[in-house]
Amino acid sequence: SQKIEQNSEALNIQEGKTATLTCNYTNYSPAYLQWYRQDPGRGPVFLLLIRENEKEKRKERLKVTFDTTLKQSLFHITASQPADSATYLCALDTGGFKTIFGAGTRLFVKA
């Protein structure tokens, strides 16, 4: 069956460290993969999109990698800050207007 997995356990890190979140998928061949940030009780906010022919994408302190062989994406936040604390969602666009979302990983950055 088709599945997207994100670490359901919260990630706790110290301010200034690099946070690394993982997204694994099975039985999909996505054209591209997206990452969103969601704060409690709010709608998700788009962060980054990476295409299947791209290995890495950067935006300020954010970096995303996409390995279609491993069927995995890694999302990094460097020099993390308490304001980065949120839930981060991985999403795959599989075509036909259907974007499939993972359940998200909660990140806590301690000062």
Partner 1 sequence: DGGITQSPKYLFRKEGQNVTLSCEQNLNHDAMYWYRQDPGQGLRLIYYSQIVNDFQKGDIAEGYSVSREKKESFPLTVTSAQKNPTAFYLCASSREATGRTGELFFGEGSRLTVL
Question: Which residues of the chain form contacts with partner 1 (CB under 8 A)?
Answer: 4, 8, 31, 34, 36, 41-46, 49, 89, 91, 93, 95-104
Q: How far apart are CA 111 and CA 109, in angstroms?
A: 7
Residue showing tokens 């706790």: 12
Residue among 73 and 81 whose Cβ is closer to partner 1: 73
User: What is the nearest approach in angstroms of partner 1 to the Cβ of residue 14?
Assistant: 26
Q: Of 33, 35, 25, give the one whose Cα is nearest residue 87.
A: 35
Taking a C-beta distance cutoff of 8 angstroms, is the pair 97, 81 a contact?
Answer: no
CB of 28 to partner 1, least distance (A): 13
Q: Which residues pair with 7 in a beta bridge?
A: none
Is the CB of 98 or the CB of 111 nearer to partner 1?
A: 98
Shortest spacing between CB 32 and partner 1, in angstroms? 8
Smallest distance, partner 1 to C-beta of residue 39, A: 10
Which tokens belong to 26?
């099975």
